[in-house]
Chains A and B, each alone.
Chain A
Amino acid sequence: MVGIITYGVYIPRYRIKVEEIAKVWGANAADISGGLGVFEKSVPDLDEDAATIAVEAARNALLRRKINPEDIGAVYVGSESHPYAVKPTACTVGEAIGATPNMTAADYEFACKAGTAAIQTCMGLVKSEMITYGLAIGSDVSQGAPSDALEYTAAAGGAAFLIGRDDPIATIHRTCSFTTDTPDFWRREGEDYPRHGGRFTGEPGYFKHVEGASNLLFRQTGKSPKDFTYAVFHQPNAKFPQKVAKNLGFTADQIQPGLVVPRLGNTYSGASPIGLAATLDIAKPGDTIFVCSFGSGAGSDAFDIEVTDAILDGKFRRDAAPSVEQLLKNPIYLDYARYAVHKGKIVMQL
């Protein structure tokens, strides 16, 4: 049975509040927070990037379960902020966790769903017995142009999932995807910040694809929202996942543990993965989790997941690495000037 063997999360300690950003651009913080349902977002330290976040998330996953890293046969990292345009983040991660050299690796890009795409690939390699374990990571430091709506939510963080066959803590019964060519949000090569189609990112973007993949999964599994204990949706803000949950027939309680965006912001490729991790942090054996990511461009990956006894049985120690709640604690708040330095928004003379 293919599933999640262990998982880990990393969130940088720095934060900036929506009201601090709003102040700079003369916007109304209450309106923005009210509209987006986001109050603050995480900010990377000066020496953090998508690679360091991916490594810490991977290391946290390996702290929870005794795995020989040399048995990891594949590493895939999904991000919109890979440090290099050419030279995979996955290689750095593989080296840093001791999985090299007998492994395959590559980097993924599919906007905010690059991490879940990596999970799907690992499932295939594991199920076909081509590898024993595959490591799938969604990690981002996310870009949002100054004064653009995205600046209020683009956050930093990542989650890593080790996929395997042997004694998973959660079985992934099925996955499916819904993909079209839709230019709702994009970034051209060499550009600093992404651009988007405003309201076009809603219905033709997020909702069409999340509902498309979710309904496809319901048809394929014969299941419906009431069959799931929890649900995790991609969370560019709090409103979209709340609305799509309602549209599909999920309750507010079902999505609550996985809805971290109000305090974290949108970690792009890390968003659904971190939402799933937050849910696994509190899940019990037998709980079922419905996950549906969304990546602009566009597509959604849906998953039917069931938590097993192994999550509590001792071989997997949830407390050996920080939970999402623990990582959200003790934030260090920045003002906009320091935030701009951290995010490289100030042009330095080199």
Chain B
Amino acid sequence: MIGTKCETCHRHFFPPRTFCPDCRRNGRIVDHKFAGSGTIVTYTVIYTANEQFEAFTPYALAIVKLDEGPRMTAQIVCNPDEVKIGMRVKSVFRRIATDGESGIIHYGTKFVPVE
């Protein structure tokens, strides 16, 4: 997970931002590799999904607060009944969606509970 960091105010961004909202033009943005661990802040279990995700329902979707600070939205790979606010999770590399049978495959980040 490569995001960015503002060296001026030390705020981390994932998803990456090229412009620090706090420092704006005074911010010095550099790449930052995130450790991939975080905590679940809130979640839902999606039963009715958009077309590309229908095959996966029901699945857990959460807002994860990464240890470095920023929050991101991602699926949680586990039994949906087990998701809890405050659960510790770590990132994994998964197939997110495809543009149909002959289209591009999109890979990305999901999270699994840390045992």
CA distance A144 to B33 in the complex (A): 39
A38-53 CB mask vs B (1 if < 8 Å, else 0) is 0000000111110110
CB of B101 closer than 8 Å to a CB of A: yes
CB of A25 closer than 8 Å to a CB of B: no
CA distance A68 to B100 in the complex (A): 36
Instruction: Please name all residues of chain A whose beta carbon is closer than 8 Å to the beta carbon of B100 when the two chains form the complex.
Output: 350
CA distance A85 to B100 in the complex (A): 15
A302-343 CB mask vs B (1 if < 8 Å, else 0) is 000000000000000000000000000000000000000100
Give, as a whole number of angstroms, the nearest-CB distance from A79 to chain B: 14
* Chain B residue at minimum C-beta to C-beta distance from A56: B93
Q: Are A46 and B92 in contact (CB under 8 A)?
A: no
Instruction: Please name all residues of chain A whose beta carbon is closer than 8 Å to the beta carbon of B77 when the two chains form the complex.
Output: 45, 47
Instruction: Please name all residues of chain B whose beta carbon is closer than 8 Å to the beta carbon of A56 when the two chains form the complex.
Output: 92-93
Q: Are B101 and A52 in contact (CB under 8 A)?
A: no
Instruction: Please name all residues of chain B whose beta carbon is closer than 8 Å to the beta carbon of A98 when the two chains form the complex.
Output: 2, 33
CA distance A52 to B100 in the complex (A): 18
CA distance A83 to B96 in the complex (A): 13
Select B56's contact among A47, A49, A52, A96, beta carbons within 8 Å.
Answer: A47
Give, as a whole number of angstroms, the nearest-CB distance from B72 to chain A: 17
Q: Are B55 and A96 in contact (CB under 8 A)?
A: no
Interface residues of B in 46-62 (CB under 8 A from A): 55-56
Q: Interface extent on A, as a size class?
A: 10 to 19
Q: Are A348 and B55 in contact (CB under 8 A)?
A: yes
CB of A55 closer than 8 Å to a CB of B: yes
Instruction: Please name all residues of chain B whose beta carbon is closer than 8 Å to the beta carbon of A45 when the two chains form the complex.
Output: 77, 94
Q: Are A51 and B92 in contact (CB under 8 A)?
A: no
Select B95's contact among A52, A59, A96, A350, beta carbons within 8 Å.
Answer: A52
Give, as a whole number of angstroms, the nearest-CB distance from B114 to chain A: 13
Interface residues of A in 182-213 (CB under 8 A from B): none
Tell me whether A46 and B107 are in contact in the complex, defined as CB-CB below 8 angstroms, given that A52-B94, A56-B92, A96-B93 are known contacts: no
Instruction: Please name all residues of chain B whose beta carbon is closer than 8 Å to the beta carbon of A48 when the two chains form the complex.
Output: 94-95
CA distance A51 to B95 in the complex (A): 9
CA distance A27 to B35 in the complex (A): 48
Give, as a whole number of angstroms, the nearest-CB distance from B52 to chain A: 11
CA distance A155 to B66 in the complex (A): 33
Select A52's contact among B2, B33, B55, B93, beta carbons within 8 Å.
Answer: B93
CB of A92 closer than 8 Å to a CB of B: yes
Q: Are A55 and B55 in contact (CB under 8 A)?
A: no
Instruction: Please name all residues of chain A whose beta carbon is closer than 8 Å to the beta carbon of B110 when the two chains form the complex.
Output: 47
* Chain A residue at minimum C-beta to C-beta distance from B98: A83
Interface residues of B in 66-83 (CB under 8 A from A): 77
Q: Are A92 and B107 in contact (CB under 8 A)?
A: yes
CB of B105 closer than 8 Å to a CB of A: yes
Give, as a whole number of angstroms, the nearest-CB distance from B33 to chain A: 8
CA distance A48 to B56 in the complex (A): 12
Instruction: Please name all residues of chain B whose beta carbon is closer than 8 Å to the beta carbon of A84 when the two chains form the complex.
Output: 105
Q: Are A47 and B101 in contact (CB under 8 A)?
A: no
* Chain A residue at minimum C-beta to C-beta distance from B91: A59
CA distance A142 to B43 in the complex (A): 34
Instruction: Please name all residues of chain A whose beta carbon is closer than 8 Å to the beta carbon of B33 when the two chains form the complex.
Output: 98
Residues of chain A having any CB pair with chain B under 8 Å: 45-49, 51-52, 55-56, 59, 83-84, 92, 96, 98, 341, 348, 350
With A46-B56, A49-B105, A52-B95 given, name 19 new contacts (CB 8 A): A46-B55, A47-B56, A47-B77, A47-B95, A48-B94, A49-B95, A52-B92, A52-B94, A52-B107, A55-B107, A56-B93, A83-B95, A83-B105, A84-B105, A96-B107, A98-B33, A341-B55, A348-B55, A350-B101
Can you list 9 A-B pairs with a CB-CB distance of less than 8 A? A45-B94, A48-B95, A49-B105, A51-B105, A55-B93, A55-B107, A92-B107, A96-B107, A350-B100
